[in-house]
Amino acid sequence: MKVRSLVTTTQETCSEAGAAVNPPTIIVIAAAVVQNPLAGKGKVEDLGELEELGRESTELLVKQALRALAAMGVQPDAVRGYGKGAIVGVDGD
C-alpha cells in the first residue's frame, strides 16, 4: 500500500441543545490518501489487490484511531460505534 498522507482528528462534544453531555462524546476521524493500484488499468477481473488494500488500510486506520482515543484516556472497550467509507478520486473510476 502506497500511503500519500494520513490525518487523524478528534471532536469532543461537551453539550448538546444546551444540556451537558457527561461524559463528553468523542469522535475520532482517521483518514488516509492512498494510491489505487488499479487506477488506469481499465476493467480488471481480479480485485484481490483492492481486497488487500482494504485489509492494510483498515489495520492502519484502526491503529491511528485507537492511538488518538488512548491519548484522550479512552480504552478500546469503551468504543460504542464506528463507521467507514471510501472516496475514489482521479482515474479511480
pLDDT in tens, 4-52: 999 999 999 999 999 999 999 999 999 999 988 888 888 999 999 999 9
26: buried, middle or exposed (CB in 10 Å: 19+, 13-18, 0-12)? middle
For residue range 44-82, what is the model confidence (pLDDT) as tens digits? Answer: 999 999 999 999 999 999 999 999 999 999 999 999 999
Q: Compute the distance between CA of residue 2 and CA of residue 34 in angstroms, rounded to an integer.
A: 6
CA 42/CA 45 separation, integer angstroms: 10
How far apart are alpha carbons 90 and 93 in whole angstroms?
Answer: 7
Q: Where are the beta strands (DSSP E) in the chain?
A: 3-16, 19-34
CB atoms within 10 A of CB 28: 20
Residue 92 predicted with pLDDT over 70: no
